[in-house]
Structure 1
């Protein structure tokens, strides 16, 4: 059973069509140095659905080779094509990944019965265990709690990542899965990490852990220890990161622009984004630079 902090790794791009391999290597080493419990590649933060299959395959190969089983690697296989999702799952299995993660296909909608049928078929054909991924803002499809409970009974479906941002919804899922304690329940929005863990969640897939993995690992450990003083301190810092780095500009991609810009300013990797999005111009970069200069993450970790 997977628990802990599993960062949704960004995909460093040298340009719009090519992977920044050296940047990816530095990024993986940086994240692993923070003591994370796994890596999630090619998710939303990793721009998976926007990348060519060539780049997706390169990312899977590079990360699995570099990690070399130090921590579990989860691979995003979300696609509008069922066949391509299965192909990506087979590629992930070939190079040593540990599990795959799939949001619903994001063009045609479906009802809950169709959603169940889709994931049962995907789990049947995937050579790796499968995580469900609830991302209704991007897919227009929402997993009802009963649907999650139903799918959790499949032997090859082992977990659920919720990025709805709805704490009450997450608590309902936790309640329905209380008789299935080996089923992993993760939350995406880092602002909710503390609350969801206190109510039965198992960890976070948090974008800020690309930059400050040790902070999110420390929050996870503080919740396990029920150290409310440390939790409160870490929560303030996490909210500071969210409110300063993810709110610059007016693009729907400003969260991702902010994360990539920060990593670029930290000297870790490039800040190029896949089309249709672009990296920040100097005015926005200066705002991110100013915010980074005011952060003192190490101060709250001591």
Structure 2
């Protein structure tokens, strides 16, 4: 079966990193995944990013990844561009993931720097060049220093953009000054076709005002319409309304504080909160996260419920 593919000359707007719903025995919950995709599309998103951090990509076996890819691409059928994370430790492993994504008909692939081993900047550049050379699809770099322990050098990114290797960047560095410097340098170099998307969902209005092209918000799983509204205000130049919507989303983001730091890691609390919120909103069946993440307990679930109710989402 041929899957329709949505392509785009320059990626922009709201592109949530879609959560991966799981069953109690840790299989992909396909029915819930389909509902979540429809929930995102109805919320007005401009694209979807599957198998990213909020998708629990690092926790998923290859067979699970394949189910997610096939399910989402066949269901979306070209309505919006679908990017696929090909995140793995080294180039050869990433290329295996990338070839699978290309065969499925993705609009682009997303790769981090190699990790586990210590990687020199020259090796990161070679890694990205080889991925693009051997796939020939739009490649987006993912700057995620908190997880891969390498910050992507901005000169390298712009060099790869100028050479046609990179189509864009998801910046999850948390460095707003660095993001602004990159945007200015991109514009000065005339590389305005290089898409810069922020992964910092609590400062989106600032990033858009600095010239970022869009956002990849984990919280967009829970409230895609809120991010679509924020982006629309920014596009219209209504920065006061954009700021108010951003502040509403900031209050909603407090769901990630559901569990105390002494009981579980921040990733368990955040992803557990996203999935719990989606379950409470009737989008997915279970709030199961992949092991060894720790699930939220009843009191923590009630904490999430209270924030959703205050936000008018229940």
Q: How much does 1:297 deviate?
A: 6.1
Deviations along 1:162-221, whole A, 9 cap, x unmatched?
A: 001110010111122111010100000111111011011000000111111111011111
Deviations along 1:120-159, whole A, 9 cap, x unmatched?
A: 1111112421100000000000012112112212324200
Q: How much does 1:116 deviate?
A: 0.9
Q: SS at 1:157's partner residue?
A: coil
Which residue is 1:266 aligned to?
Answer: 281
The TM-score with structure 2 as length reference comes to 0.91
Distance 1:166 1:297, change over 3 A: farther
Which residue is 2:243 aligned to?
Answer: 232
Taking the TM superposition and a 5 Å limit, the aligned residue runs for 1:30-69 are: 30-69=39-78
Q: Distance between the aligned counterparts of 2:243 and 2:213, measured in 1?
A: 19
Which residue is 1:216 aligned to?
Answer: 227
The TM-score with structure 1 as length reference comes to 0.95
Q: SS at 2:233's partner residue?
A: helix
Say if 2:177 is the partner of 1:168: yes
Q: Distance between the aligned counterparts of 1:265 and 1:296, measured in 2?
A: 13
Deviations along 1:252-290, whole A, 9 cap, x unmatched?
A: 212111111111111211211111102211111011011
Q: Is the 8 A contact 1:131 1:160 kept in 2?
A: yes
Q: Distance between the aligned counterparts of 2:208 and 2:117, measured in 1?
A: 33
Q: 1:245 aligns with which of 248, 252, 255?
A: 255
Taking the TM superposition and a 5 Å limit, the aligned residue runs for 1:129-208 are: 129-178=138-187, 179-208=190-219
Gapped regions of structure 2 (runs ≥ 5)? 1-9
Q: SS at 2:244's partner residue?
A: helix
State how many pairs are aligned: 297
* Residue range with higher mean Cα deviation, 281-290 or 67-76: 281-290
Q: How much does 1:16 deviate?
A: 5.1
Q: Is the 8 A contact 2:114 2:127 kept in 1?
A: no
Q: SS at 1:132's partner residue?
A: strand
Q: Is the 8 A contact 1:77 1:85 kept in 2?
A: yes
Distance 1:273 1:131, change over 3 A: same
